[in-house]
A and B are shown apart, each in its own frame.
Chain A
Amino acid sequence: MKITKSAQSGTMQSSDLMIFLEPADELIIEIESTVKQQFEHLIRAKVEEVLTQHQVSCGEIRINDRGALDYAIVARLEAGLKRACEKE
């Protein structure tokens, strides 16, 4: 999949996360989280796993997390990718 346009998914509700995706020439993953200190590495690992699975190798992905669990991260990221990779 290739990120071709700006998209967004998720919310800033507690236990959810909001993702912003933009096209970019390289892969940029930015993570902001209320539990960044404890869990940033795990969030990043999950995000990278989903990206690899969908063969996404470039794009700017900004994660804003409020303590989401793994399945929420996967679901939100997949939804975001589908929107960002849609053909016009």
Chain B
Amino acid sequence: MVAPVIGQLDREQAKALIEQQGLRFEENFDAQFGAFEDGRLVATASRDRNVFKMFAITPEYQGGSVLGELISALLQNGHQAGYKSFFVFTPPTSSASFQACNFRPLVTHHKACLLEFGNGLKQYLNSRKTLVRPGHNGAVVVNCNPFTLGHQYLIESAAARVDHLYIFVVREDRSFFPFDVRYRLVEEGVAHLDNVTILDSGDYAVSGVTFPSYFLKADDDLQSLQMELDLLLFAKHLAPFFNISTRFIGTEPYCRTTRTYSEFMQTMLPPFGMEAVQLERCQAEGGVISAFRVRQALRKEAYETVRQLVPETTFRFLRSEDGLELQKKLVNYQRRH
């Protein structure tokens, strides 16, 4: 019988079961279900927004109907929460079991697969069909937390080198500036360019925050794997659809994560017939411009510094009522991105 895992005791059982299977327990999830036999928990799985994770089934129940029961419960629960498509990251050995439950593989890697339930990717692409441009196109994937002169410079230089430039703004709302603000500031900041299109990344940019690591071994390089899956997803599904043959990224002197990502781009995109181009970052007084510096300056209310780092459009927003409201919260915000 599958039921939600709620009581303290059940929660502890679930955690122990996950760990017995050599998996890692993760604190963040929206719902957790368990399969119980005579009051004993024999299997469990969880949902974190539209990602299913922490599947753990005791060996004697593997290969039976338990996986289907757990997936049914997660789907029902996720549907009620308003999601239409669901993702699962699993080791390649479990990929077939999920495919038997109508999950479709999006990306296959020797350490992890990403599968999707539902038509999310197809719909994402179909609804953007009218934005497809012929020719030699390029892409940047940006978070823009918030949009700076550095982003503007990167986008201008990239747009000058291709027929059309797609700007994917990372949808996921775990940055200080909410998605609609980030998106709007990009729109305003590139309004003077006529060969660019701004796109919402949807669920199709794998970020470090959504990427569940429960099934990986302690010595696996989590961050690298997440970046590789993200690039494979881009190269396999997004790029061919939009005729993207060049992906641009700014040089990165400080942030190691971005630098590693850039290195992966150089090795992983060429096999797909794509080029990865690094562009020199734009400098201002006190070094290269970054959104991190903007947030730091905002926190100190150093508006003259901010003015040197962001375009007029972003500055106007920051000084607006909504912008000032957001800044009040910035004092407590510590994340690097």
Contacts and interface: CB of A to CB of B under 8 A. Distances in A.
A18 B69 contact: no
Given A18-B72, A20-B79, A30-B119, A66 B65 contact: no
Contacts of B112: none
25 contacts: A8-B75, A8-B76, A8-B80, A10-B72, A11-B72, A12-B68, A12-B71, A12-B72, A12-B75, A12-B101, A12-B102, A13-B65, A13-B68, A13-B72, A18-B72, A18-B75, A30-B119, A32-B118, A32-B119, A33-B102, A62-B118, A62-B119, A66-B68, A66-B100, A66-B102
Given A11-B69, A11-B72, A12-B101, 20 more contacts: A8-B80, A12-B68, A12-B71, A12-B102, A13-B65, A13-B69, A13-B72, A14-B68, A14-B100, A20-B79, A20-B84, A30-B119, A32-B102, A33-B102, A34-B100, A62-B119, A64-B102, A65-B102, A66-B100, A66-B102
A87 B240 CA distance: 45
Interface residues of B, number: 16
A38 to B, nearest CB: 15
Main DSSP-derived SS at the A contact region = strand
Contacts of B102: 12, 32-34, 64-66
Interface in A47-80: 62, 64-66
A66 B76 contact: no
Interface residues of A, number: 17
A73 to B, nearest CB: 15
B123 to A, nearest CB: 10
A4 interface: no
B79 A8 contact: yes
Interface string A5-31: 010101111100010100000000010
A87 to B, nearest CB: 19
The 9 closest A-B CB pairs, nearest first, are A11-B72, A13-B68, A12-B72, A12-B71, A64-B102, A8-B79, A32-B102, A12-B101, A12-B68
Contacts of A33: 102
A43 B29 CA distance: 35
A8 B118 CA distance: 14
Contacts of B72: 10-13, 18
Contacts of B76: 8
A34 B65 CA distance: 16
Nearest to A9: B76
B81 to A, nearest CB: 11
A66 B119 CA distance: 17
Contacts of A62: 118-119
Nearest to A17: B102
Nearest to A11: B72
